[in-house]
A and B are shown apart, each in its own frame.
Chain A
Amino acid sequence: MPEIDNQTTFTSQRPLYEPLSGLAPTPEELKRQRNTKKTLLIVTGGFCVLVGLILVVALLMPQPQKKTSVSITPTATPVPVEDISLRGRIMSAQKELEYIGQVEYQLPLPQVDMDIRLEPKPQ
């Protein structure tokens, strides 16, 4: 019976077996694949949750009203152009109405009755 070379067999730097294509992966490789999958899942999941959360927060936040300033003085009330709900549209119309009543809306005519002449007008 040939003598077993324990030294050579168990201290070899070579792996027990080298994986070949088509053969089952090694346990280390399986572990690595699982870890990669897990990382990928966490990253993708985290990203999706983040995007979802941003969208939900954006949805819950009050929408800023688009306003168009039609003033000739800085104190003029801007008129909201549009709104979404029925109540919002009613209130928007109320604001428009308020603005129509203001002097700025009526745009006063510059004073033109001033007689610019150096001699009195002949009668």
Chain B
Amino acid sequence: MRPKKHIFSRLLIAGILAVTLFGAASLTQAQSPLAVSPSPAVSDQKLKIRQLKELFRDQLEQYQLSDREYQLYKQQYKQLQTLASLEKAVVKAKEAMIKRNAVLLTYFDLLFAQLQVAPGVLPQKKTELEQSITTIVDKLRQNQANLDNISKKEDIAVQADYFDALKPEIYMNAFAARAYIQIGAYQDLQDRSKSLTAEVKADHASQSASAYKQSTRERAYGETDRQTAAVDQLLTGTYAKMAKAESINENWYKNLQEQLIALQSGLEKLYGFILELTTY
């Protein structure tokens, strides 16, 4: 009776331990793919981007508010033409200029940070854009220093002229960086679509399938490959258009958007196909 009891209790403990270990092992196994987290440097950069976006939003609101106040006091000065109204208008104009400059500085800091982690942008192009942004940021910092010294109506005019001269460069940098970040993101998704398609095909190849199923798969592969080629062609066309650009401004960016919209829908269709392929 006693040995039997011993065997039973030992088996019970062994069973419990086995269940526990199995549970722990399964949990570890299930969690391991999630452990592929971005590197600390990338996480830091993403945190920085989030903070800059918050700052940008706040500064943009402040600038818009300040701009409305400036418009109001400018109107008052025009109507009243008094020294007091001029004084107030100068103060409000200075404030609006300072806030516009601050929001632009944050905007370029944000673009710079986004470029650093942007996927799909060629390193050479990235460096080129970063250098260009650094130059405009330096000029905006100089403008900020000048704005602090404004005290009279004439100073406002001088600073307005300085800023006017900066505008083309501001547009060029902003639109070029935005365009390359956007097309880079599409390029990255296109690259990933190819590896995902290959994975789906490999997964299919590892399973046995009837002749009918196989022929259905082949037709679906053909359609997916054609869509991949179409997106590749759209990307090539967009790069060519970007390379040919003589001047980068708002109109150029708006025209480019048409091609980017086509890329967006092309990729949406492609990813729809790939997802569908997994059910074949």
The main secondary structure of chain B at its interface with chain A is helix
On whether A70 and B26 interact (CB within 8 A), knowing A86-B199, A97-B267, A117-B160, the answer reads no
- Please give the distance in Å from A65's CB to the nearest CB on chain B: 9
B153 near A48 with CB under 8 A, answer: no
Contact present for B264 and A101 (CB under 8 Å): yes
Tell yes or no: B111 within 8 A of A by CB.
Answer: yes
* CB contact list, B8-65 vs A, under 8 A: 9, 12-13, 16-17, 19-20, 22-24, 26-27, 30-31, 33-34, 36-38, 46, 49-50, 53-54, 56-57, 60, 63
Contact (A116, B156) CB under 8 Å given A82-B34, A97-B267, A109-B174? yes
Per-position binary interface string of chain A over residues 83-123, scored 1 when its CB falls under 8 Å from any chain B CB and 0 otherwise: 01011011101101110110001110110111111110100
Contacts of B97 in A (CB 8 A): 116
- How far apart sit A109 and B174, CA to CA, in the bound complex (Å)? 7
Q: What is the size, in residues, of chain A's interface with B at 8 Å between Cβ atoms?
A: 50
How far apart are B191's CB and chain A's nearest CB, in angstroms? 11
Q: Specify which chain B residues have a CB less than 8 angstroms from the CB of A115 in the assembled complex.
A: 160, 164
| Contacting residues, chain A, for B175 (C-beta < 8 A) | 109
B182 near A72 with CB under 8 A, answer no
B231 to chain A, nearest CB (A): 11
Within the assembled complex, what's the spacing in Å between the Cα atoms of A112 and B102? Answer: 12
**Quick one: CB contact mask for A70-88 with B, threshold 8 Å, 1 for yes?**
1111000000011010110
Q: Can you list 17 A-B contacts with CB-CB less than 8 angstroms, sorted by A residue number?
A: A56-B19, A56-B26, A59-B30, A71-B53, A72-B53, A72-B56, A97-B271, A100-B185, A107-B56, A107-B178, A109-B170, A109-B175, A110-B103, A116-B96, A116-B100, A117-B160, A118-B74
Spell out A's residues near B (CB within 8 Å). Answer: 41, 44-45, 48-49, 51-56, 58-59, 63, 66, 68-73, 81-82, 84, 86-87, 89-91, 93-94, 96-98, 100-101, 105-107, 109-110, 112-119, 121
